[in-house]
């Protein structure tokens, strides 16, 4: 039963677009669970009254904006799926976790994360396995994966998932944080946590360099007293000193590998120029150059010709361009109320901090089904304690 539950969780969270089924696994799970648990969905509270009130205001405000703009992609492409992400999490918890302790949920999230990390690493290192996995995808996703892989010189596009970019790396980060949480509770050994963390870091960096943010958050997660802070700071200084003393050797090693050159592009820039620069961070900086004059937003989320409105990936700015200051505040109010109470748990607090931080890069608080499903499962099961 445990293995079955974890396999279903893997398909629900990552929802790979398979070629032999019409809908994604997450949508099939939603349909089946709605049929089985419709009465429970109606009778049990998923949100507090305050959260429902905020979400209601947010919905009506969004409807008002799209009616004025005449551009409905925000509702059609995103708001419906947003509701789907939350419902899937709720129904999954009602079926599989209603009588489970929170530690079991942490273990399951670690398990599915390690399975996905295995897909990423083996696909990155073995072309035969890579070809087998993408042969399972539907054709439009195969085309996207191949395009992503070629765009980054064969360095990206790995994983068995409905997303293969920054938000996948963040979900792997959630699993890594859960692994560290189990270690802090003396449930797993230091050897297992070291091996697991190395696997997560390698896979996360193969997916996206956003995992460096995860690593910073993980370091902070492990620091809860002055002794650890002093020890970690000293270790960081020693590592920095070693890198500077062996600058030429490290540059030769890193530059000899295309994959390492891409992953550590920022480090190479620091060693060569004394400042952090990379293609992705430079592109991200340019995405902050938007028109901030319309404080009420334009009511447009996606361009008609495709791509994000305002040509920005930044989550907060996408909502600013759509709904202005009020739209951003409503989104944040919804999430802080949805998280209320759950943030008493140290793991969930740092998972939430990671979500807030990464939204400065992409719209993970609204558009990332994977991240929303995982964090909602976390919140709901913690409240059932």
Q: State the average pLDDT over residues 44-66.
A: 82
Instruction: Quote the pTM value.
Output: 0.88
CA distance 167 to 180: 20
**pLDDT tens track for 186-201:** 898 888 888 899 899 9
What is the domain partition of the chain in residue ranges?
Answer: 2-245+278-383
CA distance 80 to 77: 7
- CA 164 from centre of chain: 10
CA torsion sign for 358, 102, 85, 139 is: positive
**pLDDT tens track for 92-110:** 888 888 777 899 999 999 9
Which distant-in-sequence residues (6+ apart) come within 8 Å of 99 by Cβ? none
State what percent of residues in the chain have pLDDT above 70. 82
pLDDT score at 385:
58
Q: State the average pLDDT over residues 338-346.
A: 86
CA distance 343 to 336: 9
With helix as H, strand as E and coil as C, how does the chain read?
Answer: CHHHHHHHHHHHHHCCCECCCCCCHHHHHHHHHHHHHHHHHHHCCCCCHHHHHHHHHHHHHHHHHHHHHCCCHHHHHHHHHHHHHHHHHHHHHHHHHCCCCHHHHHHHHHHHHHHHHHHHHHHHHCHHHHHHHHCCECHHHHHHHHHHHHHCCCCCCCCCCCCCCHHHHHHHHHHHHHHHHHHHCCCCCHHHHHHHHHHHHHHHHHHCCCHHHHHHHHHHHHCCCHHHHHHHHHHHHHHHHHHHHCHHHHHHHHHCCHHHHHHCHHHHHHHHHCCCCCHHHHHHHHHCCCCCCCCCCCCCCECCCCCEHHHCCCHHHHHHHHHHHHHHHHHHHHHHHHHCCHHHCHHHHHHHHHHHHHCCCCCHHHHCHHHHHHHHHHHHHHHCC
**pLDDT tens track for 205-261:** 888 878 888 988 988 888 776 566 565 566 666 655 545 555 555 555 555 556 666
CA distance 310 to 303: 8
Q: Report whether pLDDT(267) > 80.
A: no
């Amino acid at each position: 039963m445990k293995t079955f539950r974890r396999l279903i969780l893997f398909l629900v969270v990552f929802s790979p677009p398979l070629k032999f089924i019409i809908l994604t696994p997450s949508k099939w799970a939603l349909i089946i669970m709605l049929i089985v648990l419709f009465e429970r969905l109606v009778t049990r509270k998923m949100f507090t009254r305050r959260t429902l009130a905020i979400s209601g205001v947010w919905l009506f405000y969004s409807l008002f904006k799209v009616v004025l703009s005449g551009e409905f992609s925000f509702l059609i492409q995103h708001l419906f799926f947003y509701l789907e992400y939350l419902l899937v999490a709720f129904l999954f918890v009602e079926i599989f976790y209603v009588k489970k302790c929170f530690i079991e949920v942490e273990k399951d999230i670690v398990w599915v994360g390690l399975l996905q990390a295995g897909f990423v690493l083996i696909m990155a290192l073995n072309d035969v396995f890579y070809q087998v996995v993408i042969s399972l995808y539907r054709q439009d996703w195969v085309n996207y994966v191949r395009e992503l892989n070629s765009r980054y010189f064969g360095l990206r596009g790995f994983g068995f998932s409905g997303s293969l970019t920054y938000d996948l790396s963040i979900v792997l980060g959630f699993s890594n944080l859960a692994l560290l949480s189990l270690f802090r509770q003396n449930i797993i050994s230091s050897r297992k946590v070291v091996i697991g963390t190395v696997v997560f870091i390698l896979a996360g960096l193969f997916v996206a360099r956003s995992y460096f943010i995860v690593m910073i958050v993980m370091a902070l997660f492990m620091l809860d007293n002055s002794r650890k802070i002093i020890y970690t700071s000293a270790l960081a200084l020693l590592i920095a000193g070693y890198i500077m003393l062996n600058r030429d050797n490290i540059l030769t090693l890193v530059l000899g590998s295309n994959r390492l050159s891409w992953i550590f592009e920022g480090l190479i820039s620091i060693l060569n120029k004394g400042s952090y620069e990379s293609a992705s961070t430079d592109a991200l900086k340019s995405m902050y150059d938007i028109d901030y004059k319309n404080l009420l937003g334009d009511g447009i989320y996606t361009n008609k010709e495709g791509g994000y409105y305002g040509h920005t990936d930044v989550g907060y700015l996408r909502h600013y361009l759509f709904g202005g200051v009020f739209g951003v505040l409503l989104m944040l109010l919804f999430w802080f109320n949805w998280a209320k109470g759950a943030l008493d748990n140290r793991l969930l607090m740092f998972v939430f901090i990671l979500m807030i931080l990464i939204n400065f890069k992409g719209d993970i608080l609204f558009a990332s089904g994977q991240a929303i499903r995982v964090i909602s499962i976390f919140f709901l099961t913690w409240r059932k304690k």
